[in-house]
Amino acid sequence: MTVIAWDGKTLAADKMSCAAGHGHTVTKIHRLRDGSIAGFEGDGDSAMALLAWLNAARDPNAYPEAQKDNAACAFVVTPGGVCNSYGKTPYPQRLEDQIYAMGHGRDFALAAMHCGKTAREAVEIACRLDVFCGNGIDTLTL
């Protein structure tokens, strides 16, 4: 499960991954080749295919096949601060909110940021309150 939070400057994510009842530690946020930062939730293999596509030419015809089933989602912030969400298609939805969160711990993280907490603090709070979030925290800043 996952919690990823964006506060307008910093992207933060927990590191827990669950598969067949076992927890693993993974990295869910990455800096892309173009300088953007991205967070991923959903199926790990599909997320890595989406990461590879985002780091490549982003050819719509080469979009990962698993995405047709919405196997993973990506939240991407460009160096200019534009936020996009990728899901089933290679055509992102632009997000205009100042703060954003995704994953199982999303509601806790959003509430924390609405109360003035940073993205990192929001993920810390979500990890304390949601048993499906944890194993450490990564952050990336534009």
Phi, psi torsion values for 110, nearest 5 degrees: -65, -45
Which range marks the domain in which residue 119 is found?
A: 3-135
Q: Does residue 141 sit within a domain?
A: no
Domain count, the chain: 1
CB atoms within 10 A of CB 124: 21
pLDDT truncated to tens, each residue of the chain (142 aa)?
899 999 999 999 999 998 887 889 999 999 999 999 999 999 999 999 999 999 999 999 999 999 988 899 999 999 999 999 999 999 999 999 999 999 999 999 999 999 999 999 999 999 999 999 999 999 999 9
The reported pTM is 0.95
CA distance 87 to 85: 7
CATH number, domain with residue 11: 3.60.20.10
**The token pair that represents 26 in the structure block:** 């993974």
Query: Among candidates 140, 141, 99, 142, which has minimal Cα distance to 122?
Result: 99
Q: Does residue 15 sit within a domain?
A: yes
